[in-house]
Structure 1
Amino acid sequence: METLETVDMAELILESHELSMMINHSREVSEYLTAKRRMEQDEEAQRLLTLFEQKKAQYEDVQRFGKYHPDYDHISKEVRQLKRAIEMLDSVQQFKRAEGNLDMLLYQVGRTIADAVSDSIKVPSNNPFLEAKSSGCGTGGSCGCSTKKTS
C-alpha cells in the first residue's frame, strides 16, 4: 500500500524531471551551447585565452610582491589589455550574452520554486542586483536597510 507521501514524492520527481527537460530544450540553452561552440572554434579567441592564462599566471606571481615587483606595472597592463581584447571579440560577446540569458532563466525558475515554498528563501544569482532585490542587502540589515518585507 502506497502512502500519500510516496505518491507526492514520485509526482514531484516526475515534475522536476519534466522541468529539467524543458530547461534543457529551451531557447536559452540552445543559444548558450551554440555560442559556446562558436567561441571554442574561434581561433583568435582560443589564442588570446591561452595567452591570457599564461599572463595571468605571471600576474599572480607578481601579485605576491605587489607594486614593489619590478614587472608589476608592465604585467598588470598586459593582463588588462588582453582581457579587453578578449571581451571585444564577437564570439566572446555572444557567449557572455547567451550565458547571461541562461543565468536569468535559471534564476527565474529557482525564484519561482523558492517563492512557492517561502518568501524568505534566498536564491543565488550571478547578478548582485537580483540577489539584493530579492533578499535585502544580505547583511541582515546592518547597513541600515530594512530586511523586512512589507505587505
Structure 2
Amino acid sequence: MMTMTDISLAAEAEVLSDYIVESEIFAQYIRTKKAVQKDRHIQSKLQEFQLLKEKYEEVQRFGKYHPDFRTITAEVREFKRGLDTEPVIAEFKQAEKYLHELLSEISKMIADEVSPNIKVPTGNPFFDAQQSSCSGGCGSGGSCGCS
C-alpha cells in the first residue's frame, strides 16, 4: 500500500529523471554513444578487442605462469591505448565521464538531504575523501573520530 508520501517521492523522482534526460550532458552522451555504434571502423575494433580480452582472460587463469602471459598482457594494453585514442571513443568517454559526475553529484545531494552520514561512492577519490574523515583501518576502535 502506497502512502501520499510515497506517491509524492515517486513523482519528484520522475521529475528529477526528466531533468537529467533533458540535460545537455545526457544529450551529448547519447550523441556520442550513437556515433560509436554507427562507426563501422570502431565497431570492428571493438569486436577485435573483445576477442583479445577473451584471450587475456584465458591467460589470467594461469597468471604469470602462462607462456603467453607477457605477450597477451602487452597486446591488450597496447590495443586498448590505441582504441582510447580514437577520436570517437575519446569523445564518448568524455561524455560518459560528465554524465557520471552529474549523477554522482545528484546522488550526493540526495544522500545529504537524508543524512550527512550516508556515504555515496562517486568513483572520484577527491569527493570520496571529502565524505570521510577516516581513511579506514585506524584500529583504534573509533577513538580517532571514525564511526
Settle same-fold status: TM greater than 0.5. Answer: yes
Which category describes the TM-score, using the shorter chain as reference length? 0.7 to 0.9
Go from structure 1 to structure 2 and tell me whether the alpha carbon gap of 1:115 and 1:99 turns closer, same or farther (over 3 Å shift): same
Structure 2, unaligned runs of 5 or more: none
CA offset digits 1:63-100 (Å, max 9, x no partner): 22222322222211111111011100011111111011
User: Does structure 1 residue 53 correspond to structure 2 residue 53?
Assistant: no
1:131 alignment partner in structure 2: 128
Q: Distance in 2 between matches of 1:118 and 1:50?
A: 45
Go from structure 1 to structure 2 and tell me whether the alpha carbon gap of 1:74 and 1:121 turns closer, same or farther (over 3 Å shift): same
Q: Distance in 2 between matches of 1:94 and 1:147?
A: 43
Q: Distance in 2 between matches of 1:134 and 1:101?
A: 20
Q: Distance in 2 between matches of 1:122 and 1:136?
A: 12
User: Which residue identity lines up with residue 48 of structure 1 in the other structure?
Assistant: K
1:1-150 equivalence runs, <5 A: 6-136=3-133, 139=136, 141-142=138-139
**RMSD value over aligned CA atoms?**
2.3
Contact 1:59 1:76 (C-alpha < 8 Å) held by counterparts: yes
Q: How many equivalent pairs are there? A: 143
Structure 1, unaligned runs of 5 or more: none
Q: TM-score, normalised by structure 1?
A: 0.83
Q: Distance in 2 between matches of 1:47 and 1:142?
A: 51
Aligned residues with identical type, % of pairs: 39
Contact 1:23 1:29 (C-alpha < 8 Å) held by counterparts: yes
Please report how far the alpha carbon of residue 37 of structure 1 lies from its aligned counterpart in structure 2 after TM superposition: 0.6
Q: Point out the more displaced range, 16-25 or 123-132.
A: 123-132
